[in-house]
């Protein structure tokens, strides 16, 4: 049976509609996929930015600890805790005194603990015995900001300021650090003039991103 031109036009019109709908579905799928990829890229960039903020905050914690280890510039500073001695009116400090190991507390000192001279032992940690399972930097809670916190916030003993808070993109809170006293195993080969035990300091600092759960930890070994 032959079909009329009108019937052929109707059949062709129906096929074109299906093809157009299929093209629209494919384009929609591609558009949704592109949007999801863009959102994932934006989320990844934001996470990278937040981690960079945390890393930079942690580095600021190390620098603050280094300032404390080398000077006593701020009110309430404790240079004698690190064997430092003032040598001029300009308050220059040199490593001239023997470090008192009892100033470094098992499990780290808190904000309320002091040595016999009344100086705070906050954040100063003794090296645990060889039988202990973990060093202090693995056992203290760097997120604790209460009165029993064993970590020192930046600026406590140096007077340095550190911007935090929700204004702009800033760390949620100040970085915190601890200082562990470790015998310097290589000192005997460098200095033959004394039999006193030499020490180095292991400083561990944690920085925070815009949220408290974004954290970065850095560590250094410092020799005065």
Model pLDDT for residues 138-185, shown as the tens digit of each residue:
999 999 998 889 999 999 988 888 999 888 889 999 999 999 999 887
Nearest to 172 by CA among 53, 63, 52, 46: 53
- The confidence band for 64, taking pLDDT boundaries of 50, 70 and 90, is very high
Nearest to 153 by CA among 206, 82, 84: 206
**Residue 57: how many other CB atoms lie within 10 Å:** 28
Q: What tokens appear for 132 in the block?
A: 């202990």
Domain ranges, ordered by start, for the chain: 41-222
Residues 6+ away with beta carbon under 8 Å from 177 = 61, 62, 64, 65, 123, 151, 152, 154, 203, 204, 205, 206
Report the chain's mean pLDDT, rounded to a whole number.
83
Nearest to 157 by CA among 94, 76, 222, 95: 76
Which uninterrupted H or E stretch holds 53? helix 5-70
Beta-strand relationship, 215-222 and 152-153: unpaired
Q: Which pLDDT score is estimated for 44?
A: 82
Q: Which pLDDT score is estimated for 197?
A: 76
- Let me know: does 74 contact 157? Beta carbons within 8 Å: yes
pLDDT digits (tens, 9 = 90+) for 102-126: 889 998 999 999 988 888 899 999 9
């Amino acid at each position: 049976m032959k079909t009329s031109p009108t019937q052929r036009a109707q059949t062709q019109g129906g096929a074109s509609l299906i093809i157009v709908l299929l093209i629209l579905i494919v384009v929609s799928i591609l558009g949704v996929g592109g949007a999801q990829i863009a959102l994932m890229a934006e989320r990844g960039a934001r996470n990278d930015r937040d981690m960079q903020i945390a890393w930079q905050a942690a580095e600021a914690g190390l620098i603050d600890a280094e300032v404390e280890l080398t000077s006593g510039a701020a009110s309430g500073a404790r240079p004698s805790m690190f064997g430092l001695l003032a040598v001029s009116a300009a308050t220059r400090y040199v490593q001239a005194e023997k470090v008192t190991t009892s100033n470094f507390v098992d499990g780290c000192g808190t904000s309320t603990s002091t040595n016999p001279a009344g100086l705070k032992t906050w954040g100063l940690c003794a090296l645990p015995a060889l039988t202990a399972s973990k060093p202090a930097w693995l056992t203290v809670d760097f997120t604790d900001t209460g009165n029993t916190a064993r970590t020192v916030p930046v600026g406590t003993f140096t007077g340095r300021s550190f911007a935090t808070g929700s204004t702009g993109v800033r760390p949620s809170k100040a970085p915190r650090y601890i200082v562990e006293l470790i015998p310097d195993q290589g000192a005997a080969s460098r200095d033959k003039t004394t039999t006193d035990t030499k020490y180095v300091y292991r400083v561990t600092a944690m920085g925070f991103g815009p949220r408290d759960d974004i954290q970065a930890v850095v560590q250094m070994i410092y020799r005065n």
